[in-house]
Amino acid sequence: MDEGRAQRRAVSPRLWLAGGWLLLALLAAIFAPLVAPQDPLAQDLMLERLPPFWMAGAEPGYWLGTDSLGRDLLSRLIFGGRIAFIVAFAAAIAACLVGSMLGLIAGYFGGWADRIISRIVDVWMAFPPVLFAILLVAVLGTGLSSVILAIAIIDWTRFCRVIRAETMGQSRMDYVENARIAGYGRIGIMLREVLPNVVPSIVALLSLEMGIAVIVEAILSFVNLSISTDDPTWGGIIAEGRLSIHQAWWVLVFPLITLILTVLSFSQFGEALKTRFDPVLR
Amino acid sequence: MLLQRFLIRLLTMLITLFGVAVVVFVVIRVAPGDPIAMMLPPGATDADIARLRALYGLDKTIVQQFFIWLSGVARGDFGTSISLRQDVLGLVFNRLPATLELAIVALVMAVALGGTTAIIGARERGTAVEAGIDIASGAALSIPDFLWGLVLILLFGVLVPIFDISGRVSPQLDLPFVTQFYLFESLLRLRLDLTWDLLKHMLMPAVALALPLAAIISQLLKQSLKEVLDLDYVVLARVKGFSETQVILREALKNAALPTLTLVGVQFTFLIGGTVIVERLFSYEGLGNMAIDAVINRDLPLIQGIVLVFALLFVLINLSVDMMYALLNPRLRHG
């Protein structure tokens, strides 16, 4: 118990840092046209490969420097955040809805429902996820909705496996038996009694999945299969940075820092939320 | 008992593989874009297209195509790659060793790093050393292999360029190898100059793949070690005068390792899945890199072959871990 409380106290500053970064990045993405110092698409070969502001040769107004086409890196990162957050929220929520529902059904009803769902999960787990994602986007065609759909199709199993196991545990508890004796229907018990008790796990996984979705989107843009090439994406900037790594390291460093901070924040946020909601630790 | 367990697992494994074959077959055939049109020059006539479609069996229904393909697979014939015009199985076997070597080197590194930090963390439990290990493993775990790969490229490819960041082996070298297992063969032939060159190329992608797994091993093994260290027989060993390190290595480790083993199996399949993008990142000529090219070129037979080989690898690893667990766990062995 003491350890749990100590853990909770230790988690707090991390929660603030993680939440702070996510809020900052999200607000910047939402108000991108107002915050971005430059047009993210404007090319100017006179301004190509400008270094970040503290280095010799930097231009005012181009804080993080420019890429090999003279486009402002900071503005591209801010606009790239729009795609990243849209994909993170939409894909994670879609994967969560499908996976949690199937997990609840498999865990609560057991029997054939469980056998069929678990077999499908087994098949899904036998695919290398990145290859599966690339394959799906190639099939669905590049574009924002394809990326979101592909991530949801692949990652629902994460929710399904965890929620299935948790639901199985909850279903054996006394309160479920009591509800049954009290005459509630099975679907009613599943949704009204069991579901609220697995919500902490769902929320924690949801936050984790948002981080994963951001990475998958970056990987897809990296292999040039995400959305149209015009709009800046974090993965797309990284792909450019990888190519010009010896001439302009900043084009790789800044999107990389942005991605790492975002992924770490989503996972820390998830952990902290789980601890906060967990009745045992509370 | 053990045999029965094995047979059931074997059966579910076959069902899983069949499921993977069906899914990948259906998915790539609903794809828009005609692979045949892509491989012909612009002036090709409709008759040319029809002839090639018939040659690759693309003029039949999906169900017919699936069973033609499946009966071929059962005979070891995975078809012909459309973009490379070679036998799919030959192409896959040519690239698989590179991926296996990378994955195994990464696994060894993960076990070594995770195991060492777990033992140190358990020995120094409750101190700043353990807290430091916890923070490091937390970060290693949260950051995926793709990002670790990029960090390593920046650190050791650009900032301090001591390792190669692209390819599997220096192209100017003369390779005497008869197999595709370059690393193992170079060791067998005692060509340590080649081993060193291969390792210099392999090290960074391997570290990128190993770090998240090392973190999981470290966390889990440390947890089980700490639990075991409070048990009577360990206390007894301590009373006998063994040092804490000796107690961990000689008494606690073998009992604490079992839960970690099962997890390492599943996580190893994730590591192999990660080779796809990490190979791409480091231009390493393995199966995953070829898979991405196959998808971009809409090379249906090659995609099918590669995905099936990956799936086979995954289920075989899970099967062997399951069997190993059953063999090592006395409760399952006798019950």
- A255 within a domain of the structure (yes/no): yes
How high is the ipTM of this complex? 0.88
Question: Distances in Å between the alpha carbon of A145 and those of A134, A262, B296?
Answer: 14, 22, 19
Concatenated DSSP letters of B180-234: S-HHHHHHHTT-HHHHHHHHHHHHHHHHHHHHHHHHHHHHHHHHHHHHHTTSHHH
| Residue B291: predicted pLDDT | 93
Q: Domain range spanning residue A236?
A: 68-277
Q: Where are the alpha helices (DSSP H) in chain B?
A: 2-29, 35-39, 46-55, 62-74, 88-123, 128-142, 145-152, 182-188, 192-228, 232-239, 244-246, 253-281, 287-296, 300-328, 330-334
Question: Do residue A263 and residue B142 have CB atoms under 8 angstroms apart?
Answer: yes
**Sequence spans of domains, chain B:** 93-330
Tens-place pLDDT, residues A191-203 = 888 888 888 889 9
Instruction: Report the number of distinct structural domains present in chain A.
Output: 1
Q: Do B142 and A264 touch (CB under 8 A)?
A: yes
At the fourth CATH level, the homologous superfamily of domain B93-330 is: MetI-like (1.10.3720.10)
The amino acid that residue B192 corresponds to is L
**Distance between A47 CA and the closest CA of chain B, angstroms:** 23
Q: Residue B96: what residue type?
A: L
The size of the A-B interface in CB pairs under 8 A is 123
Q: Which residues of A are less than 8 Å from B136 in CB distance?
A: none
Contact B195, B203 (CB under 8 A): no
**Is A119's CB within 8 Å of B16's CB?**
yes
The closest CB to that of A138, out of B19, B24, B31, belongs to B31
Tell me, yes or no, whether A35 lies in a domain.
Answer: no
| pLDDT one-digit tens code per residue, B163-181 | 888 888 888 888 888 888 9
Residues of chain A with Cβ-Cβ distance to B27 below 8 Å are: 135-136, 139
Instruction: Please name the member of A126, A211, A252 whose beta carbon is closest to the beta carbon of B315.
Output: A126
Q: Choose the mutation target among A14, A116, A130 for the interface with B, i.e. most B CBs under 10 Å.
A: A130
Give the residue on B whose Cα is nearest the Cα of A135: B295
Q: Nearest C-alpha of chain A: how many angstroms from B197?
A: 22
A260 and chain B in contact, CB less than 8 A: yes
DSSP type of residue A131: H
Residue-wise pLDDT tens digits, B269-305: 999 999 999 999 999 999 999 999 998 888 888 988 9
Q: Which amino acid is residue B158, in one-letter code?
A: V
Q: What is the pLDDT of residue A259?
A: 95
Tell me which residue of B143, B146, B268, B156 sits closest to B212, measured CA to CA: B143
A180 in a structural domain: yes
A13, part of any domain: no
Whole-structure pTM value: 0.88
Q: Which residues pair with A66 in a beta bridge?
A: A72
- Taken as a whole, chain B contains a residue count of 335
- Highest-confidence segment of A49-53, A153-157, B262-266: A153-157
Q: Is residue A32 in some structural domain?
A: no
CATH number at residue A96: 1.10.3720.10
Q: What is the pLDDT of residues A20-54, one digit of tens each?
A: 999 999 999 999 899 888 888 888 887 888 888 88
